[in-house]
Structure 1
Amino acid sequence: MTRQRILITGASSGLGAGMARAFAAQGRDLALCARRVDRLDELKAELAQRHPNITVAVAALDVNDHDQVPKVFAELSDQLGGIDRVIVNAGIGKGAPLGSGKLWANKATIETNLVSALVQIETALEMFAGAGSGHLVLISSVMGNRGVPGIKAAYAASKAGLTSLGESLRAEYASGPITVSVIEPGYIESEMTAKSKTTMLMVDTDTGVRQIVAAIERESGRAIVPAWPWIPLVALMKIVPTRFTKLFA
């Protein structure tokens, strides 16, 4: 099934912008939202020039403004004549060791990556229920597979929660009419991973986005990307003592 009309949150940069470019190249119509509307406008102009036959609608949205999420989703849906796929991508990578006195950073990560994702999920499900079908995609992380000590503790917890929501929804809609996919990226070049020290596990943005989009198009229930080396590394993460999981973060 071709999902022609795709909504992506956090689309102004990184993986969100990369997915927008990849889907535009496939001739899909796009609804893009993010806080930085100037970047969205630049991306829209770029896509319109490269792919004049598609429709691109953009809107400013801070996903932490929960009242705005259903309003913006509805506005974008109206502009495209409906939405076939929602990609819950907006997220942040802030964090500090628990107990270090930087509650604000960990709280922001949990709120953006999990609570605000829940708001987007609820909004998308309501839209799809009205339409009779749809594809919900949650961009989680390989870090959601195990607790990670240090600065990634809150981030890992937020992604574990998001993955759990996705698993629950997959069971809920096992017989349709809504399809749910949980995508777990490893380290892919983006603004979020720019300060990461694990560069030996990093893949470039184009490679990472290409594999993410392929997994989304397959409508995989759950996919780790890139598959190598992250599938075996995730399996290892699940069995080593927790104090060693920091080596993967």
Structure 2
Amino acid sequence: MSKGTIIITGASAGLGAEMARQFAALGYDLGLCARRTAPMEELRDGITSAHPGRRVVLRALDVTDDDAVFRVFGEIAGEFGTVDRVIVNAGLGKGAALGTGRHDANRRTAMTNFVGALAQADAAMEIFRAQGRGHLVLVSSMSALRGMRRAMTVYAATKAGVSAIAEGLRAERVPGLDVSVVHPGYIRSEMNEHVTQRTRFMVDTEPGVRSMVAAIERRRVSAYVPAWPWVPIGFLMKRLPLSVVTRLT
């Protein structure tokens, strides 16, 4: 018997793929979305082999295509009959210091991480308002807590925007709606694999995602994950001078 249905975007690799595995193990049916379908097919086969009772629906999706986001979410809702949770996870980590001739990379990051997240939240809310219930989860970042330098400037700004969407929806107090925002620290993923050897506090994908899944299952309003060391670091990031924060991160 299914525990419910979850849509996860950015599910072809990294945090999204591992969330799919862990939520399937908990008993959820899944609607998985990403631009690349081949890795999702392999992921689906692994999940259904390990958990024969699980249903896994795949859809190719570029979250910067607004019309596609609404169509795909509607298709998945129609196929399952209901959607209990949407995890807005798709993201891009490319970027460059402003003024260095890489506006193209910064714009792609902004369009994927913020405008794409906005479309996903909007499409999810249409489903949840019609159902009268739902759990919207937005994956932000610890970098959302303060402005970041150089290549991280735009990425951090987009994630701050994602966190603000979550807070705005909570303020609206929509009946039957739970909203969670998850702020991962450094969890090993496809996005950051090129910097793992020189990044402090990095944790492996499986335990890092386990902490995300636990926070989501508890429907935490806001969570810094993994809790150690990111809860105390988050406390400091909000209060220390920016010059000190840059050394912490």
SS across alignment from 2:163:
helix
CA distance in 1, matches of 2:247, 2:155: 15
**1:43-122 alignment to 2 at 5 Å?**
43-122=43-122
Aligned residue for 1:203? 203
Give the corresponding residue for 1:151. Answer: 151
TM-score scaled to structure 1, two decimals? 0.95
Point out where structure 1 has 5 or more consecutive residues left out of the alignment.
none
Q: Secondary structure at the match of 2:151?
A: coil
How far apart in 1 are the matches of 2:225 and 2:3? 21
Q: Residue 162 of structure 2: SS of its match in structure 1?
A: helix
Shift of 1:211: 0.4
Counting matched residue pairs gives 247
Give, in whole Å, the separation in 1 of the partners of 2:210 and 2:38: 25
2:223 counterpart residue number: 223
Does the 8 Å contact 1:48/1:56 carry over to 2? yes
The list of structure 1 runs, each at least 4 consecutive aligned residues, that deviate by more than 4 angstroms after superposition, is none
Cα deviations across residues 79-117 of structure 1 (Å, max 9, x unaligned)?
Answer: 222111000000011111111111011111111100110
Question: Under a length normalisation based on structure 2, what TM-score does the superposition of the two structures give?
Answer: 0.95
Residues 145-164 of structure 1 show CA distances to partners (whole Å, capped at 9, x for unaligned) of: 00011110000000011101
User: Helix, strand or coil for the counterpart of 1:191?
Assistant: coil
For structure 2, the 5+ residue unaligned runs are none
C-alpha RMSD over aligned residues:
1.4
Partner of 1:151, secondary structure, is helix
Query: Which SS does the other structure have where 1:200 is aligned?
Result: coil
**1:183 match:** 182
- List per-residue Cα deviations over 1:3-29 (Å, max 9, x = no partner): 610000000100000000001111110
> What percent identity do the matched residue pairs reach?
50
Q: Counterpart amino acid of 2:112?
A: T
Assess if the C-alpha contact under 8 Å between 2:132 and 2:175 holds in 1.
no
